[in-house]
Amino acid sequence: MGLKLVHLGTGAFRAVYRIKGTDFVIKFLTDGFFDEHSRDEVNNIKKLAKSKSLRPHLPRIHYYDPKLGVIVMNYYTRYNKTRANKPHPARAYGDITWERVLISDLIKELTGVNFSDLWDENLRMDKNDVVKFVDVGC
């Protein structure tokens, strides 16, 4: 039985194909690269998964061949800014984009501080255009 592969994209290191009729992709190293990049990706995903806030954003890996550097992971649709903010995650609305939800979750995880009011109104800038959090009351 042969699997049909549909090319999705090629980055600097890997060529990625959707396995036709499935919700999986397979990543092959492009010629001339060793398996480091795929190994690093698999290891980094494991490390990042220790964070509760990051876990929902990590791709699901089903198979990794360290010798060939081949990874099989879930297929994900193209990034869409509008859909990324609704209906999930439920707390993303207005100025509070999914990135800001993630930042406040990471702040909570790291420091225990609830800083969820990341509205533009509560952000200011210093002379060097560094953003300042001016209302970390909640």
Contact residues for ligand ADP, defined by CB under 6 A: 8-9, 11-14, 16, 25, 27, 37, 59, 73-76
Other residues' Cβ atoms within 10 Å of the Cβ of residue 41: 19
Is 56 a residue that touches Mg ion (CB under 5 A)?
Answer: no
- Beta-carbon contacts of residue 126 (< 8 Å; ≥ 6 apart): 132
List the structure tokens of 13. 């290191």
Closer residue to ligand ADP in complex, CB, 42/123: 42
Closer residue to Mg ion in complex, CB, 15/54: 15
Is 11 a residue that touches Mg ion (CB under 5 A)?
Answer: yes
We find the least distance from the C-beta atom of residue 54 to ligand ADP, in angstroms, to be 16
List the structure tokens of 35. 């398996």
Can you say whether residue 89 is alpha, beta or left, with left for phi > 0 and alpha for psi between -120 and 50 degrees?
beta
Residues that bind Mg ion (CB under 5 A): 11
